[in-house]
Amino acid sequence: MASFRVRPKFEVTSALSVEEIIQLVKDKLQDNTYNLHGQAMQDHITIRVNRDHRHYWSPQLSVLLQESHEDSKTIITGVYGPMPNVWTLFAVSYLMLSVMFTFISIVGFSQQALKQDAPILYVLPFLVVAAAALYLTSQMGQKLGAAQTYAMHYFFQEALGETLPEI
């Protein structure tokens, strides 16, 4: 898995139909050695780590299946990402830091424009450090879940019977 990729993904085409892919994944989910479970329905597949092997940084694989109208192939787009609770925590944290950065910048630079002292601006570097720490924490978490990400990748590759691009 390449470093500095927030959500690794792949895109591949298959000669199989959407229904065939869904059935192959359902069959493989019934009997797999990767400690995975998931849902496969209509045009979407979600694969997760079993609860007893899951940890905070465990990833999930979301796959979208689209039939190509030009030829009778299926476009498969897969995205590896964190569980929704982890994703929400980081999204809210980044939002909170950006709102604080914006508010403090407006107040501080307004005070400077009025020729007043603006000690509030000393908080900005700490917010930047906090954002960098949050990013590094997410990268560390991605590395902790890398083995499970590869397990999902190999599972899906075996289910399809086709080679998937590296993630």
CATH number, domain containing residue 39: 3.30.310.80
Sequence-distant (≥ 6) Cβ neighbours of residue 110 within 8 angstroms? none
Residue position matching structure tokens 């609860």: 51
3-state secondary structure of 87: helix
Same-domain check for residues 156 and 76: yes
Q: What pTM value is reported for the model?
A: 0.82
With respect to residue 21, please indicate whether it lies within any of the assigned structural domains.
Answer: yes
Among 77, 80, 76, smallest CA distance to 20 is for 76
Neighbours of 8 (CB within 10 A): 19
Same-domain check for residues 73 and 96: no
Q: What pLDDT digit, counting tens, does each position of 12-53 carry?
A: 999 999 999 999 999 999 988 889 999 999 999 999 999 999
Q: What pLDDT digit, counting tens, does each position of 72-130 carry?
A: 899 999 999 999 999 999 999 999 999 999 999 999 999 999 999 999 999 999 999 99
Same-domain check for residues 108 and 132: yes
Q: Work out how many domains the chain is built from and give that number.
A: 2
Same-domain check for residues 46 and 66: yes
Whole domain around residue 68: which residue ranges? 9-82+145-160
DSSP 22-57: HHHHHHHHHS-SS-EEEEEETTEEEEEE-GGG--TT
